[in-house]
Copies of this chain bind each other. A is one copy, B any other.
């Protein structure tokens, strides 16, 4: 892969940007029938090139193995026939969703006779910067295409050859359906200097979505001159209120923490009302023991659960993504909400309570994209919300908050129809 510092990124990116813009102009007026056909052709291209994709993937996994990455990481990176077929199937599922473009959001006729129609339209060109598995290349491109957008992708360096192969096939699939070259492009470099140069392309890129760890997000936020929608970490909380069904609370906690600890909507910090702390601690501790969860506790719980470790200040804002849980006693729902708003990441936070007043307080004051009462935080997900495929979960407040589907990848414009009106 090219990492030559002497590459003139600006000039090459200008060409990539122009190509994407031309593709986006065509996509903006492409009907849903052609978009469906395009997604079908993309799926077909992937399935017809399974050996090619797997060969490219082997270059990535071999190089990763030489660098000594963890077996969990290696597993996420590896593609086999089944995984490629799943990517193709994902594209077909997106194809079948309803068209997010051309929806009439509102329509009014003004007293002077002007007809004003607010209608959903694609953004244009979306830049996606990600670090994750190679299937994101296909998932992200597909959902952007459904919303009428061209994409410029920049995947993680570990999946460089896999991503190149997949992106090339997707773009060819779009051309098979009669769309111009440039619907799907992947940066041919994987170093950060190239990303920084990409983040200055505000003439061509309408929106950038970074998905990844803290340092990536900070860099994109600092460098980008176009709008950014962050998909940031999930430091998710549950607060166990002084009146609640403790057995149910423990079931919810076990699910939120253990069902899939490596994802952003998994539980990271548990807050418990001090009045039920001792009653709660026994059942809770044994459930955590059974599930192999390491506890990092405040003084109260350190005393109640002797096998636990003491929490340090950094535990309150940690996204463990592992079987580790921070636990803290609080005096009230107010203290719980304060803690969540200060230490959390505004992702998914919940209360477990049978006191309606406290649930309402929690709903009103918790500044998170998704606020739960008496359910696991693990439901923050486009599929679970009934959106179909999702591009991720926005931790921003602007435009899209929480799970983002194809609808959230559109903007709108006003069409005004007159008969000679002047002001």
Interface residues of A (CB under 8 A from B): 25, 28-29, 108, 110, 114, 116, 123-124, 202, 206-207, 221-222, 225, 227-229, 245, 248, 251-252, 254-256, 259, 341, 350, 363-365, 367-376, 378-380, 384-386, 396-399, 401-402, 411-423
Across the interface, name the chain B residue whose C-beta is closest to A367: B124
**Contacting pair B412 A401 (CB below 8 A):** yes
A55 → B minimal CB distance (Å): 36
Across the interface, name the chain B residue whose C-beta is closest to A225: B221
Known: A259-B423, A397-B207, A398-B411. A417 touches B368 (CB 8 A): no
**Contacting pair B364 A28 (CB below 8 A):** yes
A349 → B minimal CB distance (Å): 11
Identical chains in the assembly: 2
Q: Tell me which residues across on chain B come within 8 A of A29, comparing CB atoms.
A: 364-365
Q: Tell me which residues across on chain B come within 8 A of A399, comparing CB atoms.
A: 398-399
Known: A255-B422, A255-B423, A423-B384. A414 touches B402 (CB 8 A): yes
A29 → B minimal CB distance (Å): 5
Complex Cα–Cα for A368 and B371 (A): 36
**Contacting pair B252 A379 (CB below 8 A):** no
Across the interface, name the chain B residue whose C-beta is closest to A111: B386
Complex Cα–Cα for A402 and B418 (A): 18
Q: Tell me which residues across on chain B come within 8 A of A341, comparing CB atoms.
A: 25
A41 → B minimal CB distance (Å): 23
Across the interface, name the chain B residue whose C-beta is closest to A359: B417
A271 → B minimal CB distance (Å): 18
Known: A375-B418, A384-B423. A413 touches B368 (CB 8 A): yes
A245 → B minimal CB distance (Å): 7
Most buried by B among A108, A114, A206, A251: A114
The 4 closest A-B pairs by CB, nearest first: A375-B418, A255-B422, A399-B399, A227-B398
Q: Tell me which residues across on chain B come within 8 A of A414, comparing CB atoms.
A: 369-371, 380, 385, 401-402
| A and B contact pairs by CB, cutoff 8 A, 8 listed | A114-B375, A116-B386, A202-B221, A372-B417, A373-B416, A373-B418, A375-B417, A398-B399
